[in-house]
Each structure stands twice: as structure tokens, then as C-alpha cells.
Structure 1
Amino acid sequence: MTTIYDVAKAASVSPKTVSRVLNGDAPVKAETRDAVEEAIRLLGYVPSSAARTMRSNRSGLVGLVTGAISLAPQSTDVAGLPEIFIVQGIQRSMELFGMTLLISDTGGRSERVPPLIRTFTEHRVEGLIYVASHHQSVVLPDLPQSTRLVLVNCFDDRQTPAVVPDDREGQRRLVREIAARGHTRIAYLSLSPSLVATTLRKEGYRTALDEAGLPYDPDLVAVGETSADDPSSEIMRQEVERLFSLAEPPSVICCGNDRMAMRLYGVLRSSGYEVPRQVSVAGYDDYRLITETLFPPLTTVELPYVAMGERGSDRLLSLIGGSDPAQGDPERIAGDVVWRDSVVDRTRHS
């Protein structure tokens, strides 16, 4: 194996000069640098990252714990979007700053999280990011006080720096846009009541109605699924029948996520309702595999997973640089409304 001493001999310089060229920590004449770099190329010398880490106390490594790889095909039942989109945002941001991302997958088993985190700390990562499968509260193992950790798509009771979706604001934006297009009877078909997002999105729904001067009618709020693990079209069918039996039925139904909206399309059509001529439908997430292939294409609001990943990376890099506060409330990222053809603009048809 070629060593720094072999390079120094080939370039007719001292090992210290080779070290200066490699680390860029002292001025070196241009011709000397050229000689060293040519010797490195000819000998195929690969600098030891471990040695550099010991000298600088910087590894350039960041650890990421997620279930995005093993659970990607099935995670959408709960999250709407696979968390791999968050990982992509993190990877993109880390590359821009020259950091290397080490990814460990939990395989959907929470008991794997502590040993994975411990392994990362043993390998001298400069920081850790934990990505949850959906917006939720988490309990992570105790870590050394010096550990830099950022949570994405989740939060804890320790005020660990966290980045989460602004579910309340996202739903508010969507319902506000729908009301602005002349809809006054806006129904909401929610996800499982056990999810954090369900409570927040209902709050956003009510806020938008208040801002539009529309009364809140509890009869227009329905549960589209009772369990995040077992979404059932039969429950939805019963609720749709109830909604359309009201004296004033809804002109539009907002769904807890795009997958629910896809099921609703089927329920409505099997019941003889045409979308959007007889009833409009809106989703949540902007899962384009669904929203752009449904007919008509689905109006929805973005679940900003890529932006959350990028912001989580920025927070961690700031922590590493010592310029970000270590604690605080979760930072919320809101998505934009994506308007397509599944919601009729009633201001143009009145």
C-alpha cells in the first residue's frame, strides 16, 4: 500500500510538504504542488480519511436513520408519501456542502433505532438525522450531550430540533382556495383520528371556513378510515351516502390524502356521481403517481417532503457549525396548493 512517505520520495519533498498539499493548511509553491500531485497520481495514493479525522476532529460524515428503503412500497397507507422523498432532499443538501450521508434502514423495527444510532456515533459522524414515516411524536434513546441531532417528520418532548409539515396551514390554504372558487358546502373526509395530521388538518379546515365567512357544519366532517393500517372503502361508502342524504349536500369533498381521494373516485362513480360535474374532489400530498394519473387530475396540496429534508439538512449543518439554537419548537414547512381539474370553479359556472 502506497504511503505518504512513498509520495514524498517520488516528488523529492518531505512528508510534511505532502501533508500540506493534501490538507491545504499551509502555502506551497505551485511547482512543488504540481510535483506532489503528479506523484500521487502515478502512485495511486489514497489519503487516509481516518487519519485526517483524527487530526481535524472532522469526519465529513452525517448519519441518517430511516425506514424509507425497506418500507417504501407500503408506507403510503399512513404517510401518503413515501419518506424516501425526505431522504432525497437531505441527500441533495448534503452533497452541496460536501458531506457524506450514511444511511441505515430500520426495517420498520423501532428496536433497531438505538443500536443504529450508537453505531453512527462510534463511527464519529458529525451529526444525526432521524426521519419518521409520518408526522408523529417519537421517543428516542438517550444520547451523549454532545450529539447533534435533528428530527424530520417527527418531534419529541425534549425540544430536539425538528422539521415537520405544517398540516394546519396546508389544509387552510386548500380550503381557502376552494371557497374562493364559489364552494360554500365543503366536506372533509379525514384520515384516522389517531394521526397527528388529522387534528391539525381539521383545525386548518375550520380556520379557512371562518376566514371565508362560512359556518362550520359538523355534519360535513366524516371519517374516511378508522385505522391507518386498514383503510376501508366500505366506511367511506357509508359516509358518502350520509353526506348526500343531507338537506344541503356538499359540492366538494376534501380528502385526508391523495390515496383516499383515489378510493373516493371509485366510490362516487359506483354510486352514480360524476367527478367533478356533480361533486368535486380534493386530496392532500400531491403524490403525483396518483394526482396526475387520475381522471380528472386531482386538485391537492403539496406535502413538502423534499423541502423538509433540505431544511433538516440545513438545520443540522448549522448545528455542526455552532450557529443554530439546540432547542426550540418544531419548524413547520407548508406546501402549496396544486390546482387541477377535479374541483369545479363555480365562479365561472354561475
Structure 2
Amino acid sequence: MSSIKDVAAKAKVSVKTVSRVLSGFEGVSAKTKEKVEAVMKELEFYPSAAAQSLRGQEKGIVCLITENLTTTPDSFDIIAGIQHECEKHGKLLMIGESGGNEQSFSRLVDDFRRQRAEAIIYATVYHREVTIKQSFNKCPLILVNCFESTLKHPTILPDDYCGAYKLTEELLNQGHTKIAYLTLFQNMPATPLRIKGFVDAHEAKGVHVDEALIQAGVCSDPEDEFTELPNVLRDIMSRHERPTAICCGNDKMAMRVFMLIRMMGYKIPDTISIVGYDNYTLIAENLLPKLTTVSLPYFRMGQMAAQIAIDKNLEPNTKIHEISGQLLLRGSHSSV
């Protein structure tokens, strides 16, 4: 890479003159400034961001540490939301992936601090608890889609309770009183929140919840987490009062339920309504009929994280922000 000395030699000026051009010093003539800038362009010379920040000229760098967001289609909108705000405020976004590895996370934190980051955002692929061992007294940390057991950093989460409530309320408004709920893993923080939303929506409408219709739709089979779905569906659909609607833990589960329920002879939504969760568009918009679901508000979560990173006075340093997803009504559910 070209250095400031290379620029000075090529432009036939002193290193101090090049430095003055970089710092915007008014004592350099327009002709000299033009010559120096032309040489910098020719040599592809770019001043160090760290050096500029030491001179009080930092552009502003926001850093993002992810697990595998860049290769996870249904989570990528978090990055898009952060980038949107950074561009709007003229901030540079730097991204590093830890792969969920603690040592990689620590290394990235150190690397980004050396770049004099204004703030570091940590975003996970799904809603879960994390443990942060580093201190962030000078360079703030914002958590997205994850949280600590002890609140120490601004935290932005999807409102899983509200999403499940709205989805269940829609089915109840359509006259469904026997609704099955096939959950994700119980150790996922989203699962009890969504179950509570499901139950509370029933109670608000004065409809009894049949707890036998709340069953796990996933299992620990490493080959296929939906291995037990055929048995679960046979169980709930063979009941004397079978459900008229099924809420699935996510859209991937809903896709499998579509296939299995049709093999059992039911029509969607004529004889059974099926709804999902996540709005994984590759699935939700390509199933026939298209899937009614709730979106995960990843773009807005990313936006808020960047806003907090850029404007330190926007919110208190330690506060949880829950953002509700959008209920997307499509053709996979109908009235009873």
C-alpha cells in the first residue's frame, strides 16, 4: 500500500504538506491541494481511519459481530436495517462473523476497538440468551436478537408474545375454537413467550384452551427435527373434536405440515387452516395456498440498533426494546 511518504515524493512536496491537505488545513494553496489529491488518487492512497480519528476527524465506524447472519436468508434483514441507518448518517459499517465461537467473538471485539469503533452491535441468528465476558465502558455494545441474564447493555428483541397473540386472535376471530399449537424446542426463549401469547388470546376471547392440543412439533433427531411430526399430527387429528386450525412454530414446520396434512386427506384451508411464524418468504410466498404468518421484525431491529449506536443520547444504556412483527394474512387460513 502507498504511504504518505510516497504521496509526498510523487507530488514533490513535504510530508507535512500532504498531512495538511488531509486535515483540511487552509494554509495550503488550491493548486498544491489539487496536485496532492491527484497523486493520492493515482497511488490509491487512503489515510488511516485510526490516524484520522486521532486528529479528531473520524468519519464514524459502527461494527457488527454476527454468528452466521450473512449466510442466513431469513435473518439477513438485521444487517440490512443496520446498513440503512449507517448510510443515512454517513457511518461506515464493518462486519465480522464469529460463527458462535467465543474466541472469535473476543478477537473481533479487540480488532474493532483498534479501529476505534463508535459502538459494537452483536446479533444472533435466533432469539437466545448469551454471555458477554468483556467490559464495554467506553465503546458501547448493543445486543440484537439476544439477551443476557443480567441486563447490562441495550437489548433489542422480537416481541414473540405479541406475534403469537395476534396470530391466535386472528384465528379466533375467524371462528376457530379448537386450535392446535405445534411448538419449537422448549429451551428456546421464544417458545414460552409464544405459548403465553397463544393462551392469553384464548382467555381474552373467553375460549377454553385444550392443553392436549399444545404439543412439540420438533424433536432432537440430528438428521431431521420434524421426524415426529407425522405421529403428532395423527394424534391431534384423530381426536373426537379435532382442531380446525394448526399454529406451527415456524414456516419450515408449516411447510412440512402442509405436505403431511394433505397426505391425510385434508384440504387447506377448506377443512383445516394452517399458519406459520417467521415469514420466511422463500416458503411463505411459494406454498399453495400462500402461508399466513407473522414476520420477524429484523429490519426494524437492525435500524434501532444502529440508531442507538449512532445517537448515544437516544435511549438509556440498559433497556430492553421489544419490536412486534407484522401479521401477514394470506390464503392458508379461512373462517370456520
The answer to whether the superposition gives a TM-score over 0.5 is: yes
Name 1:78's counterpart in structure 2.
none
Name 1:204's counterpart in structure 2.
197
Q: Output the CA distance in 1 between the equivalents of 2:116 and 2:263.
A: 58
- Note the 1:134-173 alignment, pairs <5 A: 134-156=126-148, 157-173=150-166
TM-superposed CA distance for 1:61, in Å, is 1.5
Name 1:193's counterpart in structure 2.
186
1:325 pairs with one of 316, 328, 332: 316
Q: Output the CA distance in 2 between the equivalents of 1:293 and 1:238.
A: 26
| Residues 247 and 275, structure 2, Cα contact 8 Å, conserved in 1 | yes
Name 2:302's counterpart in structure 1.
309
Name 1:132's counterpart in structure 2.
124
- Note the 1:1-350 alignment, pairs <5 A: 3=4, 36-37=33-34, 40-41=37-38, 44=41, 46=45, 48-49=47-48, 50-56=50-56, 58=58, 60-68=60-68, 72=72, 82-156=74-148, 157-227=150-220, 231-319=224-312, 322-328=313-319, 330-346=320-336
The TM-score normalised by the length of structure 2 is 0.87
Question: 3-state SS of the aligned residue for 2:139?
Answer: coil
Q: Output the CA distance in 2 between the equivalents of 1:133 and 1:287.
A: 13
Identity percentage of aligned residues: 33
Q: Output the CA distance in 1 between the equivalents of 2:240 and 2:40.
A: 84
Q: Output the CA distance in 1 between the equivalents of 2:226 and 2:7.
A: 70
Question: 3-state SS of the aligned residue for 1:56?
Answer: coil
Gaps of 5+ in 2: none
TM-superposed CA distance for 1:236, in Å, is 1.4
Alpha-carbon deviations, 1:78-107, whole Å to 9, x = none? xxx643221122122212111111111113
| Residues 118 and 310, structure 2, Cα contact 8 Å, conserved in 1 | no
Alpha-carbon deviations, 1:15-56, whole Å to 9, x = none? 68x8787556x8899xx6687357523663845243321111
TM-superposed CA distance for 1:226, in Å, is 2.9
TM-superposed CA distance for 1:284, in Å, is 0.3
Q: Output the CA distance in 1 between the equivalents of 2:131 and 2:114.
A: 21
Q: Output the CA distance in 1 between the equivalents of 2:169 and 2:34.
A: 61
Which segment is superposed worse, 205-214 or 274-283? 205-214
Q: Per the alignment, do residues 153 and 230 of structure 1 end up closer, same or farther by CA in structure 2, a change over 3 Å counting?
A: farther
Q: Per the alignment, do residues 28 and 228 of structure 1 end up closer, same or farther by CA in structure 2, a change over 3 Å counting?
A: farther
Question: 3-state SS of the aligned residue for 1:168?
Answer: helix
Alpha-carbon deviations, 1:291-333, whole Å to 9, x = none? 11111110001111111111111111122xx4431112x2101
Q: Per the alignment, do residues 266 and 5 of structure 1 end up closer, same or farther by CA in structure 2, a change over 3 Å counting?
A: closer
Question: 3-state SS of the aligned residue for 1:103?
Answer: strand
Q: Per the alignment, do residues 143 and 33 of structure 1 end up closer, same or farther by CA in structure 2, a change over 3 Å counting?
A: farther
Q: Per the alignment, do residues 70 and 316 of structure 1 end up closer, same or farther by CA in structure 2, a change over 3 Å counting?
A: closer
Alpha-carbon deviations, 1:249-275, whole Å to 9, x = none? 111101000000001011111222221
TM-superposed CA distance for 1:191, in Å, is 0.5
CA RMSD of aligned residues (A): 3.0
Alpha-carbon deviations, 1:104-161, whole Å to 9, x = none? 1113433321122122112221110101121011001222421211000001123311
Q: Per the alignment, do residues 33 and 230 of structure 1 end up closer, same or farther by CA in structure 2, a change over 3 Å counting?
A: farther
Which segment is superposed worse, 210-219 or 191-200? 210-219
The TM-score normalised by the length of structure 1 is 0.84
Q: Output the CA distance in 2 between the equivalents of 1:196 and 1:190.
A: 12
Q: Per the alignment, do residues 219 and 70 of structure 1 end up closer, same or farther by CA in structure 2, a change over 3 Å counting?
A: same
Q: Per the alignment, do residues 204 and 27 of structure 1 end up closer, same or farther by CA in structure 2, a change over 3 Å counting?
A: farther
| Residues 71 and 107, structure 1, Cα contact 8 Å, conserved in 2 | no
Which segment is superposed worse, 206-215 or 43-52? 43-52
| Residues 68 and 82, structure 1, Cα contact 8 Å, conserved in 2 | no
| Residues 80 and 299, structure 2, Cα contact 8 Å, conserved in 1 | yes
Q: Per the alignment, do residues 259 and 87 of structure 1 end up closer, same or farther by CA in structure 2, a change over 3 Å counting?
A: same
TM-superposed CA distance for 1:210, in Å, is 1.6
Q: Output the CA distance in 2 between the equivalents of 1:200 and 1:228.
A: 24
TM-superposed CA distance for 1:60, in Å, is 1.6
